[in-house]
Amino acid sequence: MSRPTLPLPKPTAQVQPYLDVLGPELTVQFLLQFGGSELFIPQNPKRRPRVEKLVGADNVRALANVAHLLQRRVPLANAWISAFLHWQGMPVNEIARTIRRTDRTVRLYLNQYNM
């Protein structure tokens, strides 16, 4: 018997605009790289080579178009990232190393998402 496919973990309101523009995998990479930092997303992506290198010029422009929905500081979103990585099948200990938290904290995050 095949295992039912679980839906993507519901993101927080702070993460949703990134998810809408970048998609789930790129959103996680973006949050892991820039989460916690103040980041201005310009209409002209040439000013932010690190952001453009990660997500591409078109996605930088798309993020700039939804800048009014974004906070000044990129969210850490550790609970949602943990749930997403677990949803993809990553073990708890590896998630803990990825987000730099303890395995116990990751399990608490996963409990918030009923995982």
Question: Are 47 and 92 contained in the same domain?
Answer: no
Residues 65 and 22 in one domain: yes
Q: Are the C-beta atoms of residues 71 and 14 closer than 8 Å to each other?
A: yes
Indicate if 87 and 50 belong to the same structural domain: no
Interatomic CA distance for residues 67 and 112, integer angstroms:
28
Residue 1 lies in a domain: no
pLDDT at position 3 is 44
> According to the model, what pLDDT value does residue 47 have?
63
Give 61's pLDDT tier (boundaries 50, 70, 90): very high
More confident position, 48 or 19? 19
Q: Over the stretch 64-106, which tens digit does the pLDDT of each residue have?
A: 999 999 999 999 999 999 999 999 999 999 999 999 999 999 9
8 lies in some domain: no
**Is residue 28 one of the residues assigned to a domain?**
yes
Q: State residue 50 phi and psi, 5-degree precision.
A: -65, -40
- 115 vs 20, 24, 85, 92, 97, CA distance in Å? 23, 18, 11, 11, 19
Backbone angles phi, psi at 26, to 5 degrees: -70, -35
Residues 24-56: pLDDT tens digits? 999 999 999 999 999 988 777 776 688 999 999
Residue range of the domain that includes 84: 78-112
pTM for the model:
0.91
In a domain, 9, yes or no: no
Q: What's the total number of domains in the chain?
A: 2
Residue 20 forms part of a structural domain? yes
Distance CA 65, CA 58 (A): 11
